[in-house]
Structure 1
Amino acid sequence: MTHTHQPSDPSLLRIAGLPYFPIAFIARLPFAMMVVGVLTVVVSARGSLSLGGLTSAAVGLGTACFGPLLGAAADRFGQRVVLLVLAVANGAMLVLFTVVVYGAAADPFVLLSAFGIGATAPQVAPLSRSRLVTMITERMPEERRPRTISGTMAYESAADETVFVFGPFIVGILASIIAPWAPLVIAAGLTVVFVGAFALHPSARTVSQHRGSDGSAPSAASELFSARLLVVIAGVVGVGMFFGTMLTGLTSFMADRGAPEQAGLLYGVMGVGSAVLALGVAWLPPRFSMRARWLVFSGILLAGTLILLITDSVGTMVLALAIMGIGIGPTLVTQYSFAAARSPLGRSATVMTMLGSGIVVGQSIGAAVAGEIAEGTGTSVALVLPIIAAAIAFAAGIVNWRLSAVRSRPVTA
Structure 2
Amino acid sequence: MPGAKGFVIAGFVGRMPMSMLGIGIVLLISALTGSYATAGAISATVSVAYAIAAPLSGRLVDRFGQARVLIPFVLTHGAALASMMLFAEYDAPQWTLFASGVVVGGTATSLGSMVRARWSHLLGRSAMLHTAFSFESVADEMIFVAGPALVTGLATMVNPYAGLILTLVCTVAGTVAFSLQRGTEPPVRPVTEHGGSPIMIPGVALLSCVFLAMGAVFGSIDLITVAFAEEHGAKAASGLLLASFAGGSMISGLWFGSRAWKISLGRRFTRGLIIFAVGMAPILLVSGLWSMALVAFVSGFAISPIIITGYALVERLVPGHLLTEGMSWISTAVGLGVAIGAWAGGRMTDAFGPSNAYVFSYGCALLALAVGVGGGTLLRTPETGPSEAPSTC
Q: Does TM, scored on the shorter chain, surpass 0.5?
A: yes
Q: Note if contact 1:64-1:360 (Cα within 8 Å) is conserved in structure 2.
A: yes
The answer for the alignment partner of 2:353 in structure 1 is 378
State the alpha-carbon separation in 1 of the partners of residues 30 and 287 from structure 2.
28
Q: Note if contact 2:118-2:186 (Cα within 8 Å) is conserved in structure 1.
A: yes
Q: Note if contact 2:137-2:304 (Cα within 8 Å) is conserved in structure 1.
A: yes
1:182 and 2:162 are equivalent in the alignment: yes
Q: Note if contact 2:149-2:238 (Cα within 8 Å) is conserved in structure 1.
A: no
Q: Note if contact 2:12-2:174 (Cα within 8 Å) is conserved in structure 1.
A: no
Kindly state the Cα deviation for residue 131 of structure 1 after the two structures are TM-superposed: 1.9
Q: Note if contact 2:54-2:332 (Cα within 8 Å) is conserved in structure 1.
A: yes
1:220 and 2:191 are equivalent in the alignment: no
The residue type equivalent to 2:181 in the other structure is H
Secondary structure of the 1:288 match is coil
Q: TM-score, normalised by structure 1?
A: 0.87
State the alpha-carbon separation in 2 of the partners of residues 302 and 20 from structure 1.
34
Query: Which runs of structure 2 are paired with 1:40-189 in the superposition (5 Å)?
Result: 40-137=27-124, 145-189=125-169
State the alpha-carbon separation in 1 of the partners of residues 153 and 291 from structure 2.
27
State the alpha-carbon separation in 2 of the partners of residues 148 and 236 from structure 1.
25
Unmatched runs of 5 consecutive residues or more in structure 1: 1-13, 138-144
State the alpha-carbon separation in 1 of the partners of residues 208 and 183 from structure 2.
27
Kindly state the Cα deviation for residue 322 of structure 1 after the two structures are TM-superposed: 2.7
Bigger mean CA deviation after superposition, 157-166 or 73-82: 157-166
Cα RMSD of the aligned pairs, angstroms, is 2.3
Q: Pick from 17, 22, 28: which aligns with 1:35?
A: 22
Secondary structure of the 1:267 match is helix
Kindly state the Cα deviation for residue 316 of structure 1 after the two structures are TM-superposed: 3.9
Q: Note if contact 1:235-1:335 (Cα within 8 Å) is conserved in structure 2.
A: no
Q: Indicate the structure (1 or 2) with the bigger Cα radius of gyration.
A: 1
The residue type equivalent to 1:267 in the other structure is L
Bigger mean CA deviation after superposition, 319-328 or 293-302: 319-328
Q: Note if contact 1:246-1:383 (Cα within 8 Å) is conserved in structure 2.
A: yes
1:207 and 2:182 are equivalent in the alignment: no
Q: TM-score, normalised by structure 2?
A: 0.91
The answer for the alignment partner of 1:361 in structure 2 is 336
1:256 and 2:228 are equivalent in the alignment: no
Kindly state the Cα deviation for residue 92 of structure 1 after the two structures are TM-superposed: 0.9
State the alpha-carbon separation in 1 of the partners of residues 69 and 376 from structure 2.
36
Q: Pick from 297, 301, 314: which aligns with 2:276?
A: 301
Q: Are the structure 2 counterparts of residues 78 and 193 from structure 1 closer, same or farther at C-alpha, using a change threshold of 3 Å? A: same
Unmatched runs of 5 consecutive residues or more in structure 2: 386-393
State the alpha-carbon separation in 1 of the partners of residues 382 and 6 from structure 2.
37
Residue deviations 1:159-193 (CA, integer Å, cap 9, x gap): 11221332222212222343212222332232332
Kindly state the Cα deviation for residue 80 of structure 1 after the two structures are TM-superposed: 0.6
State the alpha-carbon separation in 1 of the partners of residues 272 and 355 from structure 2.
25
The residue type equivalent to 2:160 in the other structure is P
Query: How many residue pairs are counted as aligned between the two chains?
Result: 386
Q: Are the structure 2 counterparts of residues 58 and 253 from structure 1 closer, same or farther at C-alpha, using a change threshold of 3 Å? A: same
State the alpha-carbon separation in 1 of the partners of residues 56 and 360 from structure 2.
30
Kindly state the Cα deviation for residue 66 of structure 1 after the two structures are TM-superposed: 0.9
The residue type equivalent to 1:398 in the other structure is V
